Structure 1
Amino acid sequence: MQEIGLGTILLNNSIENYLLALLFLIAVYLMIKIFDKLLLGKMDLFVEKFSHSFSVLLKKIIKKRIYPLLYLLALFLAFNELKTSSQIDSFINLILMIFTVIFVVLATLDIITYSLKKYWTKKQRSEEQQKVLSITLFLIKTVIWVIAFLFILDNLNIQITGLITGLGIGGIAIAFAAQNILTDLFNYFTIFFDKPFDIGDFIITGDYRGTIEHIGVKTTRLRSLSGEQLIISNTDLVNSRINNYKRMKQRRINFSFGLTYDTPVEKLSQIPGIVEETIKSINKTEFDRAHFAEFAASSLLFQVVYYVKSSDYKVYMDIQQQINLQLKERMKELGVNFAFPTQTIHFADKENFHSSLEKIQKIEAENKADELNDGQIN
């Protein structure tokens, strides 16, 4: 009876080769376990100091994506050292390639999903916009899995040129048929990710103004100041200039008022200080300047600039009203008057004026006497 030793050949390989392959697999397994118990825990503690969510993602990728891939790679290297038939080699290579693609795609999708959800959590989102996240992830996953599937088919020596051409032609045909819809959909994603406005913002676009009520896939709806609802396509919004008043941090106000021409110079010089004091006494304001600007047609004109630290139009109007009332009171205390449109005619020669006036009155009296005489004769 033949003795069985390390050199015994079994299926074209010695028992020694089988043992070496098994020892290699055991060594890889032990190395992964040591890394998992010692180094991964420390690395996880270090990463968790900066971001708990990223730490969870990193552990998931390493344990569920990288570890299985390392096991497959170790199995491949172990079998590669053994003499096997070409069919078995091809099968092992195929299995390794397929699983490698799958695990790489899964790890990529984990990172993309984490990034998008991290971006979403930074801003408040409506329920409808949360659905967009699911749709976006679905589209991204579909595209990546299709690319991975085509990659696998190409490595299996399957001709995919015709398939890609057919998909391209079909995609072009669909794009032409639904051009307007796809344009609005693309612009919706532009609005969604660029965020030029949010629901509740007051905007002006072209001749239209109103508060954003709804951001849809094809249209955006505004509630105008007069009450009606404005429905504007996303394409029109993206292609137009938008004034977003909700995001205005402060409002610059420029207003003017006039005093009468008989105001003394010494009182005129006090006006800028009174205006500055008045504005600074009101909350949510920042004084900029106040000047005696010009000699207007019927007034001595003062120009004032200040800032309201609020985007709310009602707050601005309340502050302007306070300023107007206080200025009215202060001007009254100072003894000066606000100007209004008037005209004063000055005559250079008073004697000629009185002489001309007497002649006019004399002519009018003679005309009246003639009219009375004519009436008596008739």
Structure 2
Amino acid sequence: MDLSFLSEQVLWGISIGQLIVAAVLPLLGLLAQSVVRRFLRRVMSRLRKEGDMSVVDDVNRLLTKPLSFLINVALWNGVIGLLDLPEEPLNIHSWATTLGMVALILVIAYCAFHIVDVFAGIATRAAEKTETKLDDQLVAPITNTVKLLVALIMVAAILGQFGYSATGLIASLSIGGLAVAFAAKDTLANIFGSIVIFSERPFQIGDIVEISGVEGAVEEVGIRSTRIRQFDQTVSILPNQTFTNVEVRNLSKRESRRVRFEVTLTHDATVAQLENFLDSIRHSLAQRTDLHPNQSLVRLTKLDTSGLGVLVQAFTISTDFAEFMVTQEEILLRVRKLAEEQELPIMPAKEVRLSGEVGETRSS
């Protein structure tokens, strides 16, 4: 069959053969979309058998539509390449080719964004399974950084379609970035500090920490700063660069809490009373089940004009602050009761007479 007439017959300056091919390509696009959907269904079916339903949902929700767009735009670019569009008096072919490539770049970036979201979902679920909560906050900054890189590449590629040099653009951005780096060195130091936190993990969300005189619970760790809520409910915002050159005390990592105080008795106490008092406190601490055994200390540590000093020290098994306060209170009350039972006078607060004010005193 002679089909030469298809190339000889012209409509609107375009051969009939080219128009037929241009009409067939979108149909091939529909066929390709069907093949892609079938492939994704097979992948999702296999994932369902493995029990990872969240990944299946992400792939179905985030990738099906972008891939369909990509196939359609790629085929339309093929149609534009096949059609012999006029170049005079207006260069329609050049403009159509450029706009087609811009559309293709946009759709590729759109697909890349959704692929990043799929991996971000996988990373988020993996981070939720770890004990530390810093991983959860690390996913979002990394995801945003990757998307920013994709966006920059997309902009450079689009500008390249309009005749702008991507190399020159990158060089300009490098020079501008160097100037910004000098102007924003504190910001960069904070970002480096956040990298230190995420890599070394000196603490996690919820830990009680003491940093540069600030003590409280870590509420949030960001790229620039860390938020700590102190025990009086004051919120302190510390720049992350702080953690690169100061001591960070993670109080939540300790295995116990220390109860430590001193009781000062008057010199009226006899040696027998002192020995009995010390033994009574030791016996009382040994009977408690909320203290670490064999770690309590009760000793006479001071014998001077200010009185007789008795040091009491013990370590609680629980590290919870509320439970620690209850234990400490019970020990203090018990020591006070033992002193009263044995009629041991506790040294009262000192009185300091104010100069020139007869009869007025101040307790210290």
TM-score by length of 2: 0.55
The match for 2:324 among 308, 316, 327 is 316
* Corresponding residue of 1:106: 110
Larger Rg: 1
The 8 Å contact of residues 288 and 305 in structure 1, kept in 2 or not, is answered as no
The match for 2:5 among 8, 14, 28 is 8
* Corresponding residue of 1:165: 171
- The separation in 2 between residues aligned to 1:286 and 1:243, in whole angstroms, is 23
The match for 1:251 among 253, 256, 262 is 256
Aligned sequence identity (%): 18
The 8 Å contact of residues 293 and 303 in structure 1, kept in 2 or not, is answered as yes
Amino acid at match of 1:57: D
Q: Closer, same or farther in 2 for the Cα pair 1:119/1:46, shift >3 Å?
A: same
- The separation in 2 between residues aligned to 1:216 and 1:34, in whole angstroms, is 43
The 8 Å contact of residues 209 and 224 in structure 1, kept in 2 or not, is answered as yes
Q: Closer, same or farther in 2 for the Cα pair 1:290/1:328, shift >3 Å?
A: farther
* Corresponding residue of 1:151: 157
Further displaced range: 134-143 or 157-166: 134-143
* Corresponding residue of 2:246: 240
CA offset at residue 198 of structure 1? 7.9
CA offset at residue 62 of structure 1? 3.0
- The separation in 2 between residues aligned to 1:113 and 1:238, in whole angstroms, is 32
* Corresponding residue of 1:287: 292
Aligned positions of 1:257-276 closer than 5 A: 275-276=285-286
- The separation in 2 between residues aligned to 1:239 and 1:202, in whole angstroms, is 19
Q: Closer, same or farther in 2 for the Cα pair 1:219/1:257, shift >3 Å?
A: closer
CA offset at residue 99 of structure 1? 3.3
Matched residue SS, 1:289: coil
- The separation in 1 between residues aligned to 2:237 and 2:30, in whole angstroms, is 63
- The separation in 2 between residues aligned to 1:137 and 1:290, in whole angstroms, is 49
Aligned positions of 1:1-378 closer than 5 A: 6-10=3-7, 25-33=26-34, 35-36=36-37, 38-41=38-41, 43-44=43-44, 47=47, 49-52=51-54, 54-75=55-76, 84=84, 94=98, 97-113=101-117, 119=124, 141=147, 143-154=149-160, 158-180=164-186, 182-183=187-188, 186=191, 202-209=208-215, 233-245=239-251, 247-248=252-253, 250-253=255-258, 275-276=285-286, 278-280=287-289, 285=290, 287-290=292-295, 306-312=315-321, 314-323=322-331
* Corresponding residue of 1:356: none
CA offset at residue 76 of structure 1? 5.1
Further displaced range: 14-23 or 169-178: 14-23
The 8 Å contact of residues 289 and 306 in structure 1, kept in 2 or not, is answered as no
Offset from partner CA, 1:67-89 (integer Å, 9 cap, x none) = 22223434556777x68589798
CA offset at residue 209 of structure 1? 3.9
Matched residue SS, 1:203: strand
CA offset at residue 251 of structure 1? 2.2
Q: Closer, same or farther in 2 for the Cα pair 1:297/1:103, shift >3 Å?
A: same
- The separation in 2 between residues aligned to 1:162 and 1:85, in whole angstroms, is 32
Offset from partner CA, 1:233-284 (integer Å, 9 cap, x none) = 5433453222243x447424476999x9979xxxx999989755x222xxxx
CA offset at residue 148 of structure 1? 1.6
The 8 Å contact of residues 285 and 296 in structure 2, kept in 1 or not, is answered as no
Matched residue SS, 1:10: helix
CA offset at residue 44 of structure 1? 4.0
The 8 Å contact of residues 102 and 158 in structure 2, kept in 1 or not, is answered as yes
Amino acid at match of 1:239: N
- The separation in 1 between residues aligned to 2:18 and 2:168, in whole angstroms, is 46
Amino acid at match of 1:106: Y
Pairwise CA RMSD of aligned residues? Answer: 6.1
The 8 Å contact of residues 272 and 290 in structure 1, kept in 2 or not, is answered as no
The 8 Å contact of residues 7 and 14 in structure 1, kept in 2 or not, is answered as no
The 8 Å contact of residues 84 and 93 in structure 2, kept in 1 or not, is answered as yes
Offset from partner CA, 1:181-206 (integer Å, 9 cap, x none) = x3466368659967866898653223
- The separation in 2 between residues aligned to 1:15 and 1:217, in whole angstroms, is 60
Matched residue SS, 1:279: coil
- The separation in 1 between residues aligned to 2:153 and 2:320, in whole angstroms, is 48
Amino acid at match of 1:64: K
TM-score by length of 1: 0.54
Amino acid at match of 1:318: V
* Corresponding residue of 1:347: none
* Corresponding residue of 1:349: none
